[in-house]
Amino acid sequence: MNTQDVNRRIRLVMDLRNKGITDAKILGAMERIPRDEFVPKAVKDQAWDDMALPIGRGQTISQPYVVAAMTQALQISDMDKVLEIGTGCGYQTAILAKLCRRVYTIERHEILLERAEKMFEALKLRNITAIAADGMKGWPTIHGIDQAPFDKIIVTAAAREKPPQELLDQIKVGGAMIIPVGPSGDQSLKLYKKESEEAYSVKDLMPVRFVPLLPDIAKDEEENGAAA
Ligand code: SAH
C-alpha cells in the first residue's frame, strides 16, 4: 500500500465519521477492505471517494456512507447470521463478513456473483456463502437444509412498494431487516424490527437511490444501463 492509498483510506474514514458513523468496528472494516479492488479499472481512481460507482450489468456499488449507515443501523454483532440480497460486486458482503458470524448472500446476475466470489477468495473471507438466485424469495432450502431465520437481513436493491413477504418471514423474532422501499426517485431506507411472529415496527431512516429489486435470475441479454 503506498502513501497516497493510505491517505485516501484515512480521508474516507474521517469523512464517514463526520457524517455520523461512530462504530469503530465498521470504520475499521471500511478502512481495511480494499474498495478499489471491487470496482472496474475505469473508476478505480474514485474508489476511495464517498460516491456510488458503476460495476457492470447496469448495477452500482453503493456509496460508502450508505454501506456504513445500513450496517450501523442493523447493529450487527459477531454472533449474527446475516442474509444479504444483492451481492453486486461483494463490497457490502465483505464489510459484513468482518463484523458477523456468517453472511449468506444472493445475486441475480451470475457474472457479478462469480466476480464477487473471486474477491472473497482473494481476501480470504471464509464466512460467506453466495448463490445466484432470486433473493426476493429469501434463502432457499438447499439439500434439505434451512438457514432461515436470520438475525439480520440487508437488501441492497429497492422494493417498489413493500418488502417481499418471504424476506419478512425469514427475520428471526428480535431481529431486523434494512431495505430501501419506493419507486425510482422516491425511495426511503426502512428499518423493520420483528417484535413477534406477527408484529413489526418500521422506521424511516433516510432518502436513498438504489437500483430496483427485480424478480428471477437475470437473463444474459438483460441490459439496463452501462456495461463495464
Ligand atoms: N451491495 C452491492 C450493491 C449492488 S446493486 C455492492 O456493494 O456492490 C444491487 C444488486 O442487487 C445488483 O447487483 C442487482 O443485480 C441485485 N438484485 C436486484 N434484484 C435482486 C434479486 N431479486 N435477487 C438478488 N439480487 C438482486
The domains of the chain are located at: 3-208
**pLDDT tens per residue, the chain (228 residues)?**
789 888 999 999 999 999 999 999 999 999 999 999 999 999 999 999 999 999 988 899 999 999 999 999 999 999 999 999 999 999 999 999 999 999 999 999 999 999 999 999 999 999 999 999 999 999 999 999 999 999 999 999 999 999 999 999 999 999 999 999 999 999 999 999 999 999 999 999 999 999 999 999 998 777 554 343
pTM for the model stands at 0.96
CB atoms within 10 A of CB 215: 10
**What is the residue with the minimal CA distance to atom 17 of ligand 1?**
86
Ligand 1 site, residue 109, Cβ cutoff 6 A: yes
Instruction: Report the SS3 class of residue 112.
Output: helix
Residue 191 · residue 178 · CB < 8 Å: yes
Ligand 1 centre from 107 Cα, in Å?
6
CA distances from 169 to 151, 173, 198 (A): 12, 10, 9
Ligand 1 site, residue 189, Cβ cutoff 6 A: no
Ligand 1 centre from 87 Cα, in Å?
5
Which tens digits make up the pLDDT trace of 29-77? 999 999 999 999 999 999 999 999 999 888 999 999 999 999 999 999 9
State the DSSP string of 43-74.
GGGGTTSSS-EEEETTEEEPPHHHHHHHHHHT
| Pairing relationship of beta strands 200-208 and 187-194 according to DSSP bridges | antiparallel
Enumerate residues 6+ apart whose C-beta is below 8 A from 58. Answer: 211, 223, 224, 225, 226, 227
62 is known as an active-site residue: yes
Cis bond before residue 64 (omega within 30° of 0): no
Instruction: Report the SS3 class of residue 162.
Output: coil
Q: Please name the residue that has the C-alpha cell 482473494.
A: 122
Nearest to 92 by CA among 126, 134, 60, 114: 60
Ligand 1 site, residue 112, Cβ cutoff 6 A: yes
3-208 belongs to which CATH class? alpha beta
Ligand 1 centre from 54 Cα, in Å?
12
